[in-house]
Amino acid sequence: MEEILEKLLEAVEFGKVDNKSPFPPQLKGQDGSHELTISAIETGIKPKQILENALIPAMERVGKKFSENKIFVPQMLMSAKAMGASMCQLKPYFASGEIKTKGTFIIGTVKGDLHDIGKNLVAMMVEGGGWAIIDLGVYVGSERYIEAIKNNHGAVVGLSALLTTTMVNMGEIVSKIKEILPEIKIIIGGAPVNDDFCQKIGADFYAPDPQRAVEYLNKLAS
Ligand code: B12
């Protein structure tokens, strides 16, 4: 059992999706996260163990390496893809309630902004950290965030903005959410935003990368 989870951890850490995938070269010809997850379930390993002993630690390693500039966006995307292939097999167990999530994270790129690569990475890493994700997509205005929050009691919200022009919209969205739902925690991110801006607009936390967002969310959940 340990061996298969170790292999799965390695597959996700290094972005090996399935046995046909040529990436990464050092794992060529070997099973990827897709096959390893299926084998793990067939062997009788509980989905919760797969999540906690392979996927979450793998994404923690990936997040740490990315924060330390030891890997870059393409490698992180491959890891996220490998994690996604594994999560596809585990989804039915989430849906049945057999795996408890730490909470719900609602994420979207703010109104006026189409950039979603960073937002998608954050969503995938947070999902890998054991959270249920509601991805509202791009061009999201305050009404859609508020509706999603009302439908998901206790959720944490993440806003992404990549343009200096859409930072203004981010500020307005935070004000509107806090006006109606002051207890909701809001995390912001994206290249042009920073801690000062976060404080200025009244958001709760600024994370420069997915790992820092996961750490903050886990503190909230504990
Ligand atoms: C790819 C790209 C595009 C693609 C977007 C494709 C897509 N699906 O996302 C396309 C071609 C569509 C595009 C369009 C435009 N773009 Co553009 N784009 C980029 C580019 C090259 C990369 C952005 C990116 O994906 N980075 C990689 C990701 C991983 O990084 P990231 O988004 O910063 O996310 C990380 C963190 O910020 C954080 N994070 C991000 N979001 C969140 C959210 C939360 C909650 C948390 C915790 C963390 C977090 O985590 C991520 C991982 O670490 C940048 C330049 C650059 N090198 O950054 C320009 C850039 C962002 N674009 C720019 C511009 C101007 C535009 C356009 C206006 C161009 C035009 N005149 O049409 C349009 C805007 C369209 C619109 N309305 O949004 C400018 C913005 C300038 C500014 N400061 O305002 C940039 C900086 C280029 C430049 N140097 O001028 N763009």
Q: How do strand 132-135 and strand 156-160 relate by DSSP bridges?
A: unpaired
Q: What is the mean pLDDT of residues 31-39?
A: 97
Instruction: List C-alpha distances in Å: 154 to 44, 67, 71, 150.
Output: 33, 28, 34, 9
Q: Can you give the pTM of this predicted structure?
A: 0.88
Which residue has the CA at smallest separation from atom 49 of ligand 1?
A: 189
Q: Rounded distance, CA 43 to CA 190, Å?
A: 41
Q: What is the pLDDT of residues 13-22, one digit of tens each?
A: 999 999 999 9
Asked which of 42-56, 81-95, 133-147, 193-207 is least confident by mean pLDDT, the reply is 81-95
Residue 52: per-residue pLDDT: 85
Ligand 1 atom 31: residue of nearest CA: 118
Q: Whose CA is nearest to atom 72 of ligand 1?
A: 114
Tell me how far apart the alpha carbons of residues 210 and 104 are, in angstroms, rounded to a whole number. Answer: 16
**Closest ligand 1 atom to Cα of 119:** 41
- For 193, phi then psi, to 5°, come to -95, 160
Atom of ligand 1 nearest to the CA of 205: 47
The protein residue whose alpha carbon is closest to atom 27 in ligand 1 is 118
Q: What is the pLDDT of residues 43-82, one digit of tens each?
A: 999 988 998 899 989 988 998 999 899 999 999 899 989 9
Q: Supply the mean pLDDT for the chain.
A: 94
pLDDT tens digits, one per residue of 106-118: 999 999 999 998 8
Instruction: Determine the residue type at 145.
Output: Y
Please tell me if the CB atom of residue 163 comes closer than 6 angstroms to any atom of ligand 1. Answer: yes
Structure tokens at 107: 């994420």
Rounded percentage of the chain residues whose pLDDT exceeds 70:
100
Ligand 1 contacts CB of residue 187 (under 6 A): yes
Q: What is the pLDDT of residues 136-152, one digit of tens each?
A: 999 999 999 999 999 99
Q: Is the CB of 117 under 6 A from ligand 1?
A: yes
Nearest CA to ligand 1 atom 90: 163
d(CA 158, CA 45) in angstroms, rounded, equals 33
Of the listed ranges 69-78, 83-92, 94-103, 133-142, the one predicted with least confidence: 94-103
